[in-house]
Structure 1
Amino acid sequence: MREQGAASTAPGRVGDVRRRNLALVLANIGPNTRVTRADIAAATGLTKASVSSLVAELLETGLVEELGVTRDGERGRPGVGLALDARRGALGAEINVDYLAVGVVDLHGTLRSHEVAEAVNHGRRPEDVLAELSALAHRCVDAATASGLTLLGGGLAVPGLVDPARGIVLTAPNLRWHDTDVSAVLETLAPEVPFGVVLSNEANSAALAELWYGHGAFFRNYLFISGEVGVGGGLVIGSELFSGPRGYAGEVGHVVVEPGGRRCSCGGRGCLETVAGQEAILAAAGITDGGSTTAARMASLQAALEAGDAQAVTAVERAGHYLGIAVVSAARLVDLSAVVLGGHFAVLRQWIGPALTSSLDGFAPGLVPEGGVAFSELETTAALRGAAGAALRRALAAPYELLG
């Protein structure tokens, strides 16, 4: 009798069937599930003998570990628990306008190491930025290796439009990068990892991190809005990232919310970024000390807000108002019922949240229901977590690549 599961869905060579079944079995093993071979057989329709053989191969890949005897079935028969091995992980890296960040995430979703370096990257030569990022990444990789972690792959997130296949940043206006080839650096960030290092858009990676490690447990369809010097966005529909046919979907920062408004870095006018981006809010609040770091100026803004400074409060409330316009436009277009805000929007939630809610209620009552506005808890780690998480999922989808 033919086994059910992935093997029964399409004809093919024996090797192809086995590869599909390896991925199928692995998909039923979680971080701390202690699932048994019998549990997997029941869930997949594969025979217990086949599951045992496939699990043996997965143990060989290092993606899975045995956790000791657990109970199996109504009669309490002993079985060996299985879980994803936390000694496997991936590198995540991020280039942003005012900082660089790297980190290693393991198969349990734990951030095992993390480094951030403030840097004024706007207008810097790409090779200088990439050299500094590489130094950070190598320290992070060395620390992970010293702790017994084996890296499977990695990801680099940047605030711009990218071509992952060629490793090219097509345009990142706030960095002033255009057609910048970073493919050579991708190969050196985490050398010799089996699943490579892949380039991605910062907001898309942050949206995926929210899906896997944040509010994705509650929302299946949402717009993630990343607040940095610029404003980025990522669309998650049906618990999948929707990036559009060319990978450019979700660019909410360049939705026009104020026709006739200020010129934007993208070349347009009146974009959300011009009123709700970090620099726009700071300028409107009167916090313009160019000699201070962005972090220092954001701290000054928070202090002014806590003191009830009228100019600061007005600047943030204005940003929340226009943020609501952008959210309504996106929600009407793609039938979204939730929005998750990260970056400086999460930092300013106490002041920007009421203004956003008021704007949503004023322009589209009920479109985003109560409980449909959330603020990310991932802080500055979202993009690198998403970039690393994508690498881990490439490994989990193709475990056979790790077999000799």
Structure 2
Amino acid sequence: MRGQADRPVDQTGLRRLNLSRVLRSLRSDGPQSRALLARRTGLNKATTSSLVAELEQRRLAQLGAIVAGAVGRPSQLVELRPRAVCGVGLEINVNYAAVAVLDLTDQVLFSKRVPLDVVELGQVAVIDLLAELAADAIAVMREAGNWVAGATVAVPGLVDVENGVVQHAPNLRWREASVAERLASRLDLAPEAISVDNDANLSALAEHAVGVAAGVSDLLYLTGEVGVGGGVIADGRLVRGATGFTGEVGHMPLNPAPAECGCGRRGCWETQVGLAALLRAVADPGDEVRDSTHDLELRLRVIAARAAKGDARTRTALAEIGSALGVGASILVNVLNPTAVVLGGYFALLGEWLAEPARRELAERVMATGSCRLVLSDLGFTAAVRGGAHAALDRVFADPSIAPTEIVPTEVPHLGGIA
């Protein structure tokens, strides 16, 4: 049986492949002349010029600075066009829902996060709220003249990516949630433009593309949320596993005190290092940091302030969690042998107190000493939603011909920073 790469391609299909080749080169290698594009893609100069012209027409690329060549006349660089084409990232987590919009250059054009109790609201209400967030973002983008390529939803759980179904998200109390189908019925987007993926996978993609580990070909991303997940990049590609469920690292049985996990089992790693474990350890019920109606980052800043002032309970809790984090991470590093472990979510925001105990455990337990560095994400709680927007844009990089050619205004109103 022939694979997809062996199937015959007609002239239209061949042009789509070549458009994709050029656009991907601009994404991976940055602005470059047509001559350099031709060399890197293996296409002749005339074909490359024709493809660049079409990418310009579809508002995917533009001509940039003129640079002097080593030999001959100066050349004009070709670069990705900002703002005109964008992707929407959405996220559902235990304490919030979020949306972010990125353009082809990974610039954030719109971002909003809403605190809420997802478990209490229930599946249908949460997905409907997420649809409202997405619809608002899409409306703003279209009003500014941007074309929206698609939307990708990040969810902490087991996701059937092909069908857009969340099979099991224990901390959300969701089973067999048809997220993509319900969103498609609420949004003015083609059904095939809407997808769903695991939050750690999308976070890993974001870190690999634009985060602190950008360009690192082998990395492990660890989410610091109520659930603890892992996203694995190996040789520059996301690892999904045989059934697409790679990265459920929070359910490794590592807790010597067999606390009950959201998955129903006992002793899972996330019962030691997950967000719920942190909040229980640093504060009693009724404390402001345990009030889920308040924004999570604001509550974490309160914890950080207490640690900075030397509060004994907070410092002790963070040291213990940091050590437990390092023990679990050391097992994963010994198995996966990544170049970098990226700590995300609350692990990054409280990294000043978590990172050193975690590094000590890694140094003592990892066999290949010095082969892996532990770093703190600079994307914080935006990693998954930005990864979703980045993934939504992959539709365009896979087939640039889906982008429209009509000319519309591209000025974007001032939208403020990330919420």
TM-score by length of 1: 0.90
Residue of 285, 306, 314 corresponding to 1:304: 306
Tell which has more relative contact order, 1 or 2 (C-alpha 8 A, sep 6+). Answer: 2
Cα distance, 1:211–1:368 mapped onto 2, change above 3 Å: same
Deviates further, 88-97 or 194-203: 194-203
- State the distance in 2 between where 1:276 and 1:206 align: 18
Q: Which runs of 5+ in 1 are unaligned?
A: 1-7
Deviation at 1:72, TM superposition (A): 5.7
CA 1:362–1:29: 2 relative to 1, 3 Å: closer
Contact 1:157 1:201 (C-alpha < 8 Å) held by counterparts: yes
- Matching of residue 397 in structure 1 with residue 395 in structure 2: no
Tell me the SS of whatever aligns to 2:99: strand
Where in structure 2 are there 5+ consecutive unaligned residues?
406-419
- Alignment of 1:251 onto 2:253: no
Equivalences for residues 2-401 of structure 1 within 5 A: 12-30=9-27, 33-67=30-64, 70-71=66-67, 73-86=69-82, 87-187=84-184, 190-192=187-189, 196-217=193-214, 219-289=216-286, 292-293=291-292, 295=296, 297-364=299-366, 367=369, 369=371, 372-401=373-402
Deviation sequence 1:157-209 (CA, Å, 0-9, x none): 11111112222110111110111112333325652359601101111111110
Deviation at 1:274, TM superposition (A): 0.2
Letter in 1 for 2:55: L
Distance (whole Å) between structure 2 residues aligned to residue 384 and residue 214 of structure 1: 13
Which letter maps to 1:319? Answer: I
CA offsets 1:363-401 (integer angstroms, 9 cap, x no match): 23654547x010001112111110110111221121133
Is the contact made by 2:304 and 2:350 (CA closer than 8 Å) also made in structure 1? yes
Measured against aligned partners, the alpha-carbon deviations of 1:215-236 in whole angstroms (never above 9, x if no partner) come to: 3335321210011112111111
Per-residue CA deviations over 1:283-341 (Å, capped at 9, x if unaligned) read 12234327723635434422321222222212111111111111111112222242100
Quick one: which amino acid aligns to residue 387 of structure 1? G
Residues 1:145 and 1:16: Cα distance change in structure 2 (over 3 Å): closer
Instruction: Give me the identity figure in percent.
Output: 35
Give the letter aligned to residue 395 of structure 1.
V
Contact 2:184 2:191 in 1 (8 A): no
3-state DSSP of counterpart to 2:255:
coil
In structure 1, the residue corresponding to 2:238 is in which secondary structure?
strand
- Aligned-residue Cα RMSD (Å) equals 2.5
* Native 8 Å contact 2:318 2:354 kept in 1: yes
CA gap 1:9/1:46 in 2 versus in 1, 3 angstroms: farther
Query: Larger deviation: 26-35 or 79-88?
Result: 26-35
Is this contact kept in 2: 1:287–1:297, CA < 8 A?
Answer: no
Rounded to whole Å, the distance in 1 between the matches of 2:36 and 2:265 is 56
Aligned equivalents of 2:150, 2:343: Cα separation in 1: 28
Mapped partners of 2:37, 2:215: distance in 1: 26
Deviation at 1:31, TM superposition (A): 9.0
AA at the equivalent of 2:383: A
What TM-score do the two structures reach when normalised by structure 2? 0.87
Alpha-carbon contact 1:209-1:382 (below 8 Å) kept: yes
The 1:285/1:365 distance shift into structure 2, 3 A limit, reads farther
The aligned amino acid for 2:309 is A
1:47 and 1:182 map into 2 onto residues whose CA distance is 44
Alpha-carbon distance in 2 for matches of 1:48, 1:336: 39
